[in-house]
Structure 1
Amino acid sequence: MTHPSPRPSPTPPAIRVGVGGWTYEPWRNNFFPPGLPHSRELAWASRQLSAIEVNGTYYGTLKPASFKKWHDETPADFVFSLKASRYATNRRVLAEAGESINRFVDSGISELRHKLGPIVWQFMPGKVFEAGDFEAFLALLPSHVDGLPLRHVLDVRHESFATPAYLALARRHGCVTVYTDASQFPQITDSQGQFAYLRLMRSQPGLPTGYPPGALDQWADGARAWTGGSTPREVFLYFINGAKERAPAAAMALLARLGFKPAA
């Protein structure tokens, strides 16, 4: 299969906006064109958005052929964020996660090549911050796989992580912390992060674009501010959960504010 050629776009390459996954039944009524074969949904979604966060890798191990297929079906400037295996993060003693971490990293994710975005390590809401055990876990995260540099994102969901000690620890290991607008999780802002990773979870079913226009304006301004200044840094922003049926419309509305032009 030939690789898709790059598409011209005025969107700043450092700002990525997308949704979680691409297989969702309600999207076949309001996002995908009528009659689009299910096998073409990724190809379509990747030409309307600039990134996708993959949830399936959290629940099970995929084969290298799956990652290669995703690579080949998407535009050259597209990016996949991957949720790491839950078997690595949903455990009492994180320091014992080495085998699960390696199994995930060595599962073929390098087949995505330059389309491999950040890896998200999501922890259970009840997981409390224990500095020693957490640092032991972070020390297990590899910096490369098959010559590709890896970027690690921590999705911590307990209030005990909302401390300077946690942020300092994450920075020492080169990890970025998820920022979420969800009221049930701590909203941890790391202004010194190597890049920004946002998971927005308040889409409303009664709004065509999930978020009010004013809110989308603010997220667009925030993304531009992060990528500007003396130290431009990337932004990955995903519309996740909430009224999930509105996620693609929210992402496309934000991308339009950033000057992104979907492929034909």
Structure 2
Amino acid sequence: MAAIHIGISGWRYTPWRGDFYPEGLPRKHELQFASRAVNSIEINGSFYALQRPERYARWYSETPHHFVFSIKAPRFITHIKRLRDVHKPLANFFASGILELKEKLGPILWQFPPNFKFDAELFEHFLEQLPHDTEQATALARQHDAHLNGHTCLKAYKKKPVRHAVEIRHESFIDPVFVRLLKRYNTALVIADTAGKWPYREDITSDFVYLRLHGAEELYASGYTPQALKRWGERIEAWHHGRQPQDPQLIAPRQKPRKCKSREVFCYFDNDIKVRAPFDARSLLERFDLHEQLSTAPGKPVVEGALP
């Protein structure tokens, strides 16, 4: 069976200190602690600025074996350039060090702003440029410009897939053409729970599933009740076993997902403001008995005491 990865979006939040993180835990040990509480983390600092290879290498070394990172791609490409003339920015991103995550490299998240409308030609041109394995990513990275000032990683340690997921926030994407494009390029549509603020759809367009849970009633803040987590668990279980839930909310009902026995699932809680994300993630991990694997993962928590 493919794996299920459940975790948090980011790990450095001041309100988490003294709550999720024990009192006195040094900030430099927060990733070590968090990566023993969940089995995956979505890196979001990369959305705001390019990171450096040494930083990715450190994150790799601080986390257990079999841990997986997803990476939020730069807003410079999605929000500022808005997919136009992005060849060099793409090369810079892939040269910035993400390949230092080696086998821990998970999907890349491309989040679009609420005022970004679907343009089929522009969007397909963007999808055409994305690398789909680490060798293609390295070839693209070698085309970076001088902006990186020597802080680059241009080595594919081992050939492995590079997967992509797209999060939409404008109603114009509710178009079967959009679904066909995602399927053509094996790119996942992010299943994003945004407290009703932005479009919610569950079309399965790739060989993996990517969820972002931003809050049930209040965006980025409200937690998920046991009943809500049960419902999400049931949906994840269906997608994981290659099925759809009984009541899927789809853009293109006639476009059936490719049949498979199992799909890898990535699920990230982003309701961080009121310190709900790590606890909700932990509850969902426990539903699938994945917390038991965490307790035996290589590496010890950096402080004494039980993880949440």
TM-score > 0.5, shorter chain as reference: yes
Alignment of 1:2-81 (within 5 A): 14-81=3-70
Q: What residue in structure 2 maps to residue 154 of structure 1?
A: 166
Amino acid of the residue matched to residue 166 of structure 2?
L
Aligned residues: 251
Calculate the TM-score normalised by the size of structure 2. 0.77
Partner of 2:224: 211
Report the Cα distance in structure 2 between the residues aligned to 1:61 and 1:157, rounded to whole angstroms.
Answer: 23
* Gapped regions of structure 2 (runs ≥ 5): 138-155, 243-259, 296-300, 302-308
Partner SS, residue 183 of structure 2:
helix
Q: Deviation at 1:13?
A: 6.0
- Note the C-alpha offset of 1:228: 1.7
The answer to whether the 8 A contact 2:111-2:167 is kept is yes
Identity over aligned pairs, percent = 42
> Could you say which residue in structure 1 is the equivalent of 2:125?
136
User: Could you tell me which residue of structure 2 aligns to residue 186 of structure 1?
Assistant: 199
Cα displacement string for residues 91-137 of structure 1 (whole angstroms, at most 9, x for unaligned residues): 46524111111110111111101100100111111000011111111
Q: Which amino acid in structure 2 is aligned with residue 151 of structure 1?
A: R
Aligned residue number for residue 200 of structure 1? 213
**Quick one: distance in 2 between partners of 1:32 and 1:95?**
41
- Aligned AA for 1:257? R
Displacement after TM superposition at 1:14 (Å): 1.2
Amino acid at match of 2:210: Y
Residue 104 to residue 217, structure 1, CA distance change in 2 (3 Å) = same
Partner of 1:8: none
CA distance in 2, matches of 1:192, 1:97: 24
1:242 to 1:33, Cα distance in 2 relative to 1, 3 A:
closer
Query: Any idea what SS the aligned residue of 1:26 has?
Result: helix
Distance 1:52 1:130 in 2: 31
The 3-state SS of whatever aligns with 2:179 is helix
* 2:100 equivalent to 1:111: yes
Aligned-residue Cα RMSD (Å) equals: 2.0
Please identify, of 125-134 and 222-231, the stretch whose mean Cα deviation from structure 2 is larger: 222-231
**Is the alpha carbon distance of 1:93 and 1:39 closer, same or farther for their aligned partners in structure 2, counting shifts above 3 Å?**
closer
Letter in 2 for 1:178: V
* Residues in 2 aligned to 1:204 and 1:26: alpha-carbon distance in whole angstroms: 20
TM-score by length of 1: 0.89
Q: Is the 8 A contact 2:2 2:262 kept in 1?
A: no
1:164 corresponds to which residue? 176
* Residue of structure 2 in register with 1:236 after alignment: 266
Deviation at 1:169, TM superposition (A): 0.8
Give SS of 1:72's match: helix
CA distance in 2, matches of 1:13, 1:171: 19
Match of 1:225 in 2: 238
Show structure 1 runs of 5+ residues with no match.
Answer: 1-11
CA deviation string 1:193-217 (max 9, x = no partner): 3111111111568xxx921101111
Structure 2 Cα separation of the partners of residues 13 and 27 of structure 1? 31
Moved over 6 A (4+): none
Name the residue aligned to 2:186: 174
Quick one: structure 1 residues 170 and 259, their matched pair in 2 at CA, closer, same or farther if it must change by over 3 Å?
Answer: same
Which region of structure 1 is more displaced relative to structure 2, 70-79 or 137-146? 137-146
- Which residue type is aligned with residue 28 of structure 2? S
